[in-house]
Structure 1
């Protein structure tokens, strides 16, 4: 079959950053035979879901942009969530992707049968494609904590990704459970603006100080007229030094770079928090970067507001009108916010994905989610993931990661398009070899240095990319076809 005679059909799941990217790249190739299924009512993924006060990206805005579509209009070095969603809305329209999206359509199952992917929606509709791309994101299924009495609370209670904008918070006593990036951002935004604010922390976080840099109209005009200024923010010496330090720190827990980061966060705590008792409450008992780094320009300042109270004594149970602590103390509350993160091991689940000869993705992922270089899976031909399991996560630009992964995927799809094969998937041996190397390397990262986090699997092994980012860039340049099984018609 010639290249010109094979018109592949594509199904993309998710209209967040990665799904939009896939649509843009397909359109650039002149492809029209594709559909993007989106369970929500708009684009933007996590930036559509998360609208809580203070929501922002902790990757510099100019780095959290497509490499082919700079945005000189960012209002700040770290852009607020509403602007990020607006950017993706604009990109969807600018590149003509919106007409290919089916909103409010959730996928229930996908099965590979007779050489094609058969997809069924929650409403019972069916679709068929040659190529299936999962762009479902990493953090999109809210994790609800198993706290006794949670259902008994009579006030307003909701997950941070389901923010209630109808409440007049100024007159409320608000409790925030959780202190990852989301909890820190919410507390910093609400401090001094509510009647009382209690921040419940199971374990404190190291806070990396960061500039609260706002771009003036002159700054924006400079970005508009000289795109090199944007490129300097993205990959100039300062950006490279910042990324290089963090990368070296996480892959080697004994590196001087991690020692430098440790010194910075310790000094931030010492110099920012006046009250010794509060300072000790906020001092973690693990090394910096063991959990995902939390960046904030003002959390330590805001948490010292007289209306804010930090409680690390541990929650005993939720009662109808507040939270009872293990030491017997009680916090009466009107609003309870669950900033408790997401089910990080879900990825494409709860969809049922069935591959060749009935292979079940849940069975393959029984121990933990895994994929060959975070993109492909044995026995699941022509199935590709963007930002899949064990890829680079943390404080990196997921856009850069997704762009490099799409370059990799495109080369595999080209084999299908050309007729060289009708099915492409990695071998089991290739995945096992990759996982063995990755697991051993992951045990040496800072993520395995003695803290609990969503990076760890049930056995305590970090499910992360454990090597230099340059290695990721290298392997994404070109697939090693020796590790792939190519099936001809």
Structure 2
């Protein structure tokens, strides 16, 4: 059943989501001896963002050897930057190898979760009418799970086909179609080069310009796979080298104002070199950002700019004013006709648990508690929500590096919380003053980062320009802070001792 000796009490744990967060946490908990686990997944299989994003060319922009669990290296990654099918297969492999299949409740959508102070347990409600209670609840929903589609006038009148890139319509043949791609971010630069040769006309509505450098991708030869298997240290050294590049060179320049000028000059040079592949000088100027490199996510592609040279591809800068039955009218008065819209408009990154409603010990719903901006201690715990933790929560996104490293730190911390419950605690509620101090410190450090000072709008910032997403330090620093759960940071409650007659 559970941990340690016979005096440990059973701890029931619910995890909502089965992407890198949920799978990694479940494995860590099972390794620690916790077996009363339920992993809720609204889809028909695990995989999270790598299950949902099946658009052509979908791939990771972090090197494969780092974008994987440290305890489960994959020696035979086919390329330096793995593509979606291979990453999804890796996650399925991990779920199967570590025995998570019996714990998965697929096609089960959690709608609400509320905490009962009287029992110290969470009551989880699902869309099929089911209800279950747990000692510990973890939201592993991720920051990039809810597609964002702009609300534009006339959308309901469009007579063609429209879909978000994260909900790709594989049954809709794009060959010979007139296609509009709204957005030019991380997903668009991957699929635009692949659909451009097949469509009749492709109109890219550029929402904001991005710094884009060439992608240093390559296919790994068979001898590299054999080396990784026979001498695993080779793969570990490769992972370490990539990690140190991010930690010692890129991350400090993003977070700290010191040294940013050198990084900025380097990135500008790389991106402007990539831009030379655009033959039209006027278009080249329109594709050059006016904000500081790193303010938005720096994108990588070796094919996107080349695709814009095609005679059937057009870039539109003027924003869309309205959708018409047969296209869109832009703010400059021009009408653009097309029969297919692909929304490449990203995700609602501040909706950390949406559409699930989470209600804490005082009857306060989590989004109401976050009315002034999402915040959580170490991105994990929120005051007033005992025995509840988030993974990939507020201020835990990394501007450089691999989120998987952060998730492993979070999983280890949550395992410690589960052990406190197993040892007899009934309630762990992070102290308000601890959360306040952490948040003030994080926002103070973020205020001088390139994300806050680089002169752009990005998904890192909410409507009040508060940075709710990024971690203001290094991956190593986060690992150090989460290495030990300090009980003094929490209000701990224990059951009343029995009174003897």
Contact 1:426–1:484 (Cα < 8 Å) also in 2:
yes
2:88 paired residue number: 85
Q: Which residues of structure 1 form unaligned runs of 5+?
A: none
Provide the C-alpha distance between the structure 2 equivalents of 1:239 and 1:388, rounded to a whole number of angstroms: 22
Provide the C-alpha distance between the structure 1 equivalents of 2:378 and 2:82, rounded to a whole number of angstroms: 30
1:356-385: per-residue Cα shift (whole Å, max 9, x none)?
Answer: 232331221111111001011112111111
1:213 paired residue number: 218
1:117-171: per-residue Cα shift (whole Å, max 9, x none)?
Answer: 1111111101111111111111111111122222211111001111011122221
1:198-246: per-residue Cα shift (whole Å, max 9, x none)?
Answer: 111021111022212112223222222222222122112x541244322
Contact 2:211–2:299 (Cα < 8 Å) also in 1:
yes
Provide the C-alpha distance between the structure 2 equivalents of 1:243 and 1:319, rounded to a whole number of angstroms: 48
The structure-2 alpha-carbon separation of the partners of 1:239 and 1:110, relative to structure 1 and needing over 3 Å to count, comes to: closer
Contact 2:49–2:144 (Cα < 8 Å) also in 1:
yes
Deviating runs (4+, > 6 A) in structure 1? Answer: none
Contact 1:248–1:257 (Cα < 8 Å) also in 2:
no
Aligned residues: 487
3-state SS, counterpart of residue 276 of structure 2: helix
Contact 1:110–1:118 (Cα < 8 Å) also in 2:
yes
Provide the C-alpha distance between the structure 1 equivalents of 2:215 and 2:123, rounded to a whole number of angstroms: 47
1:482 paired residue number: 488
1:384-423 correspondence runs (5 A): 384-419=389-424, 421-423=425-427
3-state SS, counterpart of residue 358 of structure 1: coil
Deviation at 1:3, TM superposition (A): 5.0
Aligned match of 2:77 in 71, 74, 79? 74
* TM-score of the aligned structures, taking structure 2 as reference length: 0.93
1:55 paired residue number: 58
Provide the C-alpha distance between the structure 2 equivalents of 1:39 and 1:447, rounded to a whole number of angstroms: 33
Residue 357 (1) aligns with residue 362 (2):
yes
1:468 paired residue number: 474
Root mean square deviation of aligned Cα = 1.8
The structure-2 alpha-carbon separation of the partners of 1:243 and 1:191, relative to structure 1 and needing over 3 Å to count, comes to: farther
Provide the C-alpha distance between the structure 1 equivalents of 2:360 and 2:428, rounded to a whole number of angstroms: 12
Deviation at 1:390, TM superposition (A): 1.1
Residue 240 (1) aligns with residue 244 (2):
yes
3-state SS, counterpart of residue 384 of structure 1: strand
3-state SS, counterpart of residue 15 of structure 2: strand
Provide the C-alpha distance between the structure 1 equivalents of 2:40 and 2:247, rounded to a whole number of angstroms: 34
Provide the C-alpha distance between the structure 2 equivalents of 1:152 and 1:279, rounded to a whole number of angstroms: 34
2:446 paired residue number: 442
1:396-429: per-residue Cα shift (whole Å, max 9, x none)?
Answer: 312111101111121222111112x221121011
1:22 paired residue number: 25
Provide the C-alpha distance between the structure 2 equivalents of 1:404 and 1:259, rounded to a whole number of angstroms: 30
Contact 2:144–2:347 (Cα < 8 Å) also in 1:
yes
Aligned match of 1:432 in 428, 433, 436? 436
